A and B are shown apart, each in its own frame.
Chain A
Amino acid sequence: MALLVDKHRPRSLDALSYHQDLSERLRSLAQSGDFPHLLVYGPSGAGKKTRIVATLKELYGPGVEKIKIDSRVFQTTSNRKLEFNIVASVYHLEITPSDVGNYDRVVVQDLLKEVAQTQQVDLSARQRFKVVVINEADHLTRDAQAALRRTMEKYSPNLRLILLANSTSNIIAPIRSRTLLVRVASPTETEICQVLKKVGGKEGWKEVEVLNKRIAAESGRNLRRALLMFEAVHAQNEIVNDSTPIPPPDWEALIEQIAGEIIAEHTPARILQVRAKLYDLLTHCIPATTILKTLTWKLIPKIDDALKADVVRWSAFYEHRIRMGTKVIFHLEAFVAKFMYLLESYLMEMDF
């Protein structure tokens, strides 16, 4: 059984439930025959991918939904073989170059040039160009982005790019200036409620408005998360009412626990205990940034206002360190120790 998220994903631009003017704009771009390169950005769970798939359908018709997965082998300059998965239909390709890490330049150059140099074979196709969707474009290396830049201009008759990114910060300026920027904002909480109501109606679930509102608030304006939570609540309880608890993911529960422990006691022994839990999280593949961020959000409500700015500051500091460094546990522990120090010295001052 498919998840709600996939089952009720809108397939066409008409079915999208919010950002109507954006859908309208995408539709008119798709129909005008003068389709530019796009750079779609926005926070996760805002519906970027859904909108792109719908736009592709608008461009080419239902043919884009027949997709297959190709596995291709690329050879780097140092003769290393790279395996790379491509999701493709007759009209478009979808790639995630950051899968191959530092070698993404090779993929971008080889694959895009190959696509760009072959014309559309199907004469009955609606557009003369192929579309390449690049996921996680903000994780592309500088080299790969520089390689993109000329390709975009040179082969524009045969090739259109759609770049998907969480933010434009890591996209180099030349690319930004060559694409049409499309911002997809997160849905508001009322919009999430509407979606939940609609999906619930389709599933034949009884509507509980207060619960829906709570889910929307809890999800942090992330529609995907809201839908998953919605499904979880309904899967765990036969009858739902206003006060049904929303089960948090177990990793969040664990972080909550860590936060409580850090607040309660500030000793090296406690750090040791926390370390075990942090390792537990890391071995379950929770990204270090997520751990640090969640921990910060959990800690902040529990402390005094005067400390909040400092805690955020050190959190940002160690998050930067995590990016730059190689071993994440050091920085997570350092943050924990720093926090204990801050809180302890603040309490000491209070005593006097």
Chain B
Amino acid sequence: MASFFDLKARQAAAASACSAKVAPPKENNRLQPWVEKYRPKSLDDITAQDHTVTVLRRTLQSSNLPHMLFYGPPGTGKTSTVLALAKQLYGPDLIKTRVLELNASDERGISIVREKVKDFARMQLSNPPAGPAGIEYRKRYSCPPYKIVILDEADSMTQDAQSALRRTMETYSKITRFCLICNYVTRIIDPLASRCSKFRFKSLDSANAGRRLEDIAANENVDLEDGVIEMLLRCSEGDLRKAITFLQSAARLVGALQAKKSRPKVGGTDDDAMDVEITDGKAVTVRSIEDIAGVIPIATIDRLLQAMQPRNKGSVYESVAGVVTDMVAEGWSATQVVSQLYDKIVYDDAIPDRHKNKIVMTFSQTDKGLVDGSDEHLAILDLCLQVAGVLGER
């Protein structure tokens, strides 16, 4: 109780509490996902998507912007592009008041479109700070007289919510621009699509994506084994975000093992020391990437293929069933088995096209079954036996 009235002690306590609070952000920074950390800061940082970037850069100068619709496969930089654009247009001070970002995790029913989006759209424009600071600010950022509403993952919005947007987009077009981002442009209703200028984002080419990954690895002091970049690109199928996340997980594993080994030497939980220790040492291996991505080793798939080949003595069933049971027990996910087996078979020139036709049909059925949640063991066994049956045909 005495300390309650002791002002100095309380101040000291408050100060220490404050300093305790200051420490975490540094740590947070380290824990930040690399995807966020290495988002392009400006349009110039965006490597691929030349066409879109040139068009957008022109809008930076002209202070006019159409409604936009970005579409393309995941991880190609749609969100990054629009965020970089917003940053360059408004700068750090204005971006909070001028940009509204909504994505699928926020409730986005028709009521939200009517209230939140509409309210934001009709709000008066905020101004850059007055005085000399403001003039300086205006020099650096163009601050055009409109706000931007970013609707991320717009293809998961309901039809009703989309049609509620139509009129809103037109009415407030003087002071508000909309940017819709989606994977499938067909899910956006026509009236909306026709109000926007469309930008297609193509899959990243491996040269660009590879360079980006190398940059990040160099920045984070992660040693990469030869072939890791190729493996990352192959596992992620053109999705740069996935590739970066895989890289981070792999680095984490290596780093964690390393930190543990070095800990007795440091003899404490000193964060800084740990940071340094983590950096050098073991490299990220191809195997660890495979592990993280859940990719089945090629040897296992080959064994399965081998078992499916037609043979004279012994039954195909026994060998296939054996391998499949093993694979299920090992815990490999069925969708992964299906997609890797598919890649193997489709690119196998030894199989005649006539057979491939039939095989692809069974793949389609199995995939549908798996998506509907049918039993994996049965589904995979069925698939393999049918494929084996087709292969055995003359």
* A interface residues with partner B (beta carbon < 8 Å): 24-25, 27-29, 31-34, 36, 41-43, 46, 128, 146-147, 149-151, 153-154, 156-157, 167-170, 173-174, 176-178, 180-181, 183-186, 220-221, 289, 293, 296, 300, 305, 308-309, 312-313, 315-317, 319-320, 322-324
B374 and A316 contact, CB distance less than 8 A: yes
Q: Which of B241, B333, B382 contacts A312 (CB 8 A)?
A: B382
- Say whether chain B's binding surface is mostly helix, strand, loop, or mixed: helix
The total of interchain contacts (Cβ-Cβ below 8 angstroms) comes to 152
Interface, chain B (partner A; CB < 8 A)? 24, 28, 30-31, 33, 36, 74, 103-106, 156, 239, 241-242, 245-246, 249, 252-253, 255-257, 259-260, 263, 269, 271, 274, 291-294, 315-317, 328-336, 369-379, 381-382, 385-386, 388-389
Q: Give the most central of B269, B336, B372, B382: most A CB within 10 Å.
A: B382
Q: Is the CB of A167 within 8 A of B334?
A: yes
Let me know if A29 and B256 touch, CB within 8 A.
Answer: yes
Do residues A29 and B377 form an inter-chain contact, with CB atoms below 8 A? no
| Contact of B378 with A170 in the complex, beta carbons under 8 Å | no
* B294 with A167: CB separation less than 8 A: no
Q: Are B253 and A25 in touch, CB under 8 angstroms?
A: yes
Q: Which of A43, A149, A220 has the most CB of B within 10 A?
A: A43
Nearest first, the 8 A-B pairs at minimum CB distance are A150-B105, A316-B382, A42-B331, A32-B256, A168-B333, A28-B256, A186-B329, A309-B385
Question: How long is the Cα–Cα vector from A292 to B256 in the complex, in angstroms?
Answer: 45
Q: How far is the CA of A289 from the CA of B369 in the complex (A)?
A: 14
Give 16 pairs: A residue, B residue, CB < 8 Å, sorted on A.
A29-B256, A32-B255, A42-B331, A146-B104, A150-B105, A169-B370, A186-B331, A309-B316, A309-B317, A312-B378, A312-B382, A316-B369, A317-B382, A320-B374, A323-B373, A324-B372
Residue of A nearest to B36 (CB): A153
- The answer to whether B377 touches A293 (Cβ under 8 A) is yes
Asked if A185 and B317 make an inter-chain contact with CB atoms under 8 angstroms apart, the answer reads no
Known A151-B105, A186-B329; contact A319-B317, beta-carbon cutoff 8 A: no
- A316 to B334 alpha-carbon distance, docked (Å): 14
Q: How far is the CA of A322 from the CA of B373 in the complex (A)?
A: 10
Given contacts A289-B375, A316-B369, A316-B374, contact A168 B382 (CB under 8 A): no
- If A149-B105, A167-B334, A168-B335 touch, does A312 touch B294 (CB 8 Å cutoff)? no
Residues of chain A with a CB closer than 8 A to B30's CB: 34
Instruction: Give the complex CA separation of A146 and B377 in angstroms.
Output: 27
| Given A34-B31, A150-B104, A305-B315, residue A168 in contact with residue B257 (CB < 8 A) | no
Contact A320 B369 (CB under 8 A): yes
* Bound complex: CA A134 to CA B238 (Å): 30
CB distance from B287 to the nearest CB of A (A): 11
C-alpha gap A32/B374 in the complex (Å): 39
Contact of A180 among B36, B249, B263, B271 (CB under 8 A): B249
Question: Shortest beta-carbon distance, A205 to chain B, in Å?
Answer: 27
Residues on A with C-beta less than 8 A from B255 are 32, 34
Q: Judging by beta carbons under 8 Å apart, are A177 and B329 in contact?
A: no
